[in-house]
Structure 1
């Protein structure tokens, strides 16, 4: 069993960290073929192997990678990052993403103290998590999620209401969790996602909007974690916030955020 394994979710060939703690994973690999009909092979592990939901990638996004890691990796700690967004270490260099990623040697000594690793909080200031989602996507998604939680796990309602009224969150579906916590989180999360997918009308949705299961997961992670804190399963002192770097178009991102808030224009593409 590995001490720690972090999958790097990607849908394309790109440069990857050299540290063996990282495992490049082709997400949404099921059914992907070249123009001549041969399966696309980046030379990475594929998320359509073993126990998987790769075929659902068009709705679940990188969460098909999380599911694969949950079901198929054998490690004491399991994590998820993205090909353009990583946790970074003490030698982070601006505009040098791959040479800034946190290494095994940096994170291994922290495992004796921390059960949960998350990206530093993203603050929205003028928005709650719920209002931000409502302005940028479709708030009916969380009406459905709330009904599922009330039915299946009402003990999470306190955490749900608290988190959706926050103005910050641990975003991006990035985390590293102790194995038993990963099992707990994924069992809870995917039960909700599978039901939500069946209840949301996806007819006429764009490819961008269709990935709603991945987006609601960002907030549901915080709901799950808040419940673990409330019930004493995880102490706040066992949560480590890590710096991160991302390769995004900030001009577009800020413009889209303000347009959603004040002009009621929904997000249409990833930044």
Structure 2
């Protein structure tokens, strides 16, 4: 029997995802939204953090649900509008994904974007209220959390945050189950410790989906600190009208 493949397209509205057997819809933040959609999985079953959408973002509550409640051999996550593309014309499909994992021995397919400055400088410029409100660099506390969970990640963290300009963005990736589980265990351990530190410091959270943005940055830290075969692809955005790139 061949490997089982499934990528979950996260949504908060009643919609459709790209028509390919690789994809299935997942209503994320279902508890928080208080809505039910027919013929769609929801992230408020089993072991879940569905009611924490306001803090973590729906893609993150979905990530947790996939980790705790599914066991596909090759699995991943994206939004119902944003997909990785192998040919630059349409979202990557089941046949292409099988070719990459089974014949080219890829371990992790990640969305890639570049910013003009370091991640730290970009965040400070465009999310200035995070720093101004608390008069403290929130990434210093994040570094403390990383060191507590596993100090082997500190070099990768420092590079990504203060030197790097590449982002593995939008919580969009496909990987082998082994690496999916390892990544989720690491990132949720880091975020649990980070949450504890911020509360102890009486840090004022910067509104809706604060942790979602932090986790998006941290994916690259995990990737460059693990010796796996990674393929990075651009994201294309699909609407009813057109397909467009996000670089």
TM-score (norm 1): 0.76
Instruction: Specify the alignment match of 2:45 in structure 1.
Output: 49
Instruction: Specify the alignment match of 2:18 in structure 1.
Output: 17
Whether contact under 8 Å (2:32, 2:50) holds in the other structure is: no
Instruction: Specify the alignment match of 2:209 in structure 1.
Output: 211
| 1:124 equivalent in alignment to 2:123 | no
Instruction: Specify the alignment match of 2:177 in structure 1.
Output: 179
CA RMSD of aligned residues (A): 2.2
Q: 1:91 to 1:226 in 2, by over 3 A?
A: closer
Q: Give the 3-state SS of the residue equivalent to 1:30 in structure 2.
A: helix
Return 5+ residue gaps in structure 2 as ranges: 132-136, 240-247
**Aligned-pair CA distance for 1:161:** 0.6
Q: 1:198 to 1:55 in 2, by over 3 A?
A: farther
| 1:114 equivalent in alignment to 2:106 | yes
**Aligned-pair CA distance for 1:115:** 0.2
Q: 1:247 to 1:143 in 2, by over 3 A?
A: farther
Instruction: Specify the alignment match of 1:226 in structure 2.
Output: 224
Instruction: Specify the alignment match of 1:78 in structure 2.
Output: 75
**Aligned-pair CA distance for 1:103:** 1.1
TM-score (norm 2): 0.83
**Aligned-pair CA distance for 1:42:** 4.4
- Across the two proteins, how many residue pairs are aligned to each other? 225
Hey, what's the Cα distance between the residues in 2 that align with 1:149 and 1:215?
A: 16
**Aligned-pair CA distance for 1:118:** 0.9
**Aligned-pair CA distance for 1:205:** 5.8
CA-to-aligned-CA distance 1:218-261 (integer Å, 9 cap, x gap): 11110111111xxxx31xxx21122321259xxxxxxxxxxxxx
Q: 1:203 to 1:170 in 2, by over 3 A?
A: closer
| 1:240 equivalent in alignment to 2:244 | no
Hey, what's the Cα distance between the residues in 1 that align with 2:158 and 2:26?
A: 34
| 1:148 equivalent in alignment to 2:145 | yes
Instruction: Specify the alignment match of 1:200 in structure 2.
Output: 198
| 1:88 equivalent in alignment to 2:85 | yes
From 36, 40, 51, the counterpart of 1:40: 36
Q: Give the 3-state SS of the residue equivalent to 1:78 in structure 2.
A: strand
Q: 1:143 to 1:205 in 2, by over 3 A?
A: closer
CA-to-aligned-CA distance 1:155-214 (integer Å, 9 cap, x gap): 1101111111212222111111111111110000001112323443699867xx321111
Hey, what's the Cα distance between the residues in 2 that align with 1:8 and 1:141?
A: 30
